[in-house]
Amino acid sequence: MRNNSLLRVKRALLALLLATNTNAADASAKHDGYRLALPGYRFEFPRDHFNHPDFQTEWWYYTGNLRTADGRRFGFELTFFRRGADNGAAVQQASGGSVWDVRDVWMAHLALSDIHGGQFLHAERLNRSGPGIAGADLKQARVWNGNWETQWALDPSLAGGGTQRLKAVAERFSFDFALTSDKPPVIHGTDGVSQKAEGAGKASHYISLTRLSTKGEIILDGKHFSVEGASWMDHEFFSHQLESDQSGWDWFSLQLADHSEFMLFRLRRKGGSPDPFSAGTYVDPQGRTVHLTAKDFTVTPGKIWRSPATGGNYPIEWMIEVPSIRFKATLHTPMVQQELTSNSRSGTSYWEGAIDVEASRLGRSLQGVGYLEMTGYTGPITGLN
């Protein structure tokens, strides 16, 4: 009954908190008081798995493809976003501040693709850190938003990938997964930065755990499913916005049967042309990485699916080619409706879902699964980007 009116309240607020910065062309090493992602950053784990409050935006992205013993397939996405609000800092200092002051806005997205059942369930939430409602804390080895969380095991193996326990509770479903990293963290880009546009600091620090062996349980409408499979974690922190001529991106994570992985992103300019800062990484079965620049690969959209909810025209088939390592792949999705429709202005609606990969490497055919994210198909991205 009151949802609509409060929703409007919330929208107005998000506009304030998450508004695109108009003076983003600031060339200094700071952006509105936040640190920029600059080359030479020295990564250190486990520290860098957790919070970087001196950067304005940070996210932890978990996606995965899982199956039950009898082959019932699920995909999942659990994402924690943080955005520094730095709201009313002066007021807070003047009167001592309180636990409810909004220093960061924490948003989280949760989705379950029940591919066999043909249903896509998703939820989102928005919180402040408050007294411990949401956060990312090295001491607790935890990233959480309400009762959605990942708890790292505090053991020396953390320095590499370590193990995590990923849990989430939603209205109709919940899950509890144990994730074990088979490979050390991948740092994308060059010299510790993944460049997104021309200019110092228009970049991010970008870490991935590309193969997380996953085991756990999904409870959907009261039914328990024991599942196994592989997950992927992305962790990025930065302090810049999309450039005004950039309209969105397509992001691909591929986990192939030969134990290798690809991460590719294609930035799109307004008008549809690809952006020269599109890039990717190839991770070989041993965990060695090859940085791929825009020149090294092509991604070609295929069949279009028009979302009945938002009217967005999403390419749900893709062709990928990386000539330098003689790699070709066709991507399909087993379920077209994997769009997270958001009503808040924070998250523009986007498509994020499980995909199947038909690839060939050095002429040998290769199967795989992956996750595909497509943003900016329903309007400008004003939120966390």
Give the footprint of other proteins on this chain (CB under 8 A). Answer: 1-13, 15-17, 19, 87-88, 91, 95, 98-102, 105, 122-128, 130-133, 144, 146-147, 149, 167, 169-171, 174, 309-310, 341-345, 349
In whole angstroms, how close is the CB of 348 to other proteins at the nearest point?
A: 10
- Closest CB to other proteins among 189 and 376? 376
What is the Rg, in whole angstroms, of the alpha carbon atoms belonging to the chain? 20
Pick the closest to residue 159 from 186, 178, 185, 193 (CA basis): 185
Most distant pair of Cα atoms in the chain: their distance: 68
Pick the closest to residue 122 from 172, 182, 65, 82 (CA basis): 172
- Cα-Cα-Cα-Cα dihedral sign, residues 61, 54, 126, 193: negative
Cβ contacts of 318 within 8 Å, gap of 6 or more? 250, 252, 299, 300, 301, 302, 330, 331, 372
In whole angstroms, how close is the CB of 83 to other proteins at the nearest point?
A: 11
Question: What tokens does 59 get?
Answer: 């996210």
- Closest CB to other proteins among 122 and 269? 122
Contact indicator for 248, 373 with CB cutoff of 8 Å? no
Angle made by CA atoms 75, 252, 290, in degrees to the nearest 5:
125
- Closest CB to other proteins among 23 and 98? 98
Contact indicator for 287, 315 with CB cutoff of 8 Å? no
- Closest CB to other proteins among 48 and 124? 124
In whole angstroms, how close is the CB of 299 to other proteins at the nearest point?
A: 28
- Closest CB to other proteins among 310 and 333? 310
In whole angstroms, how close is the CB of 224 to other proteins at the nearest point?
A: 15
In whole angstroms, how close is the CB of 165 to other proteins at the nearest point?
A: 12
Cβ contacts of 330 within 8 Å, gap of 6 or more? 317, 318, 319, 320, 357, 358, 359
- Closest CB to other proteins among 101 and 356? 101
Place of tokens 């700071």: 30
In whole angstroms, how close is the CB of 220 to other proteins at the nearest point?
A: 13
In whole angstroms, how close is the CB of 112 to other proteins at the nearest point?
A: 13
In whole angstroms, how close is the CB of 186 to other proteins at the nearest point?
A: 30
Question: What tokens does 15 get?
Answer: 């506009």
Question: What tokens does 104 get?
Answer: 């960061």
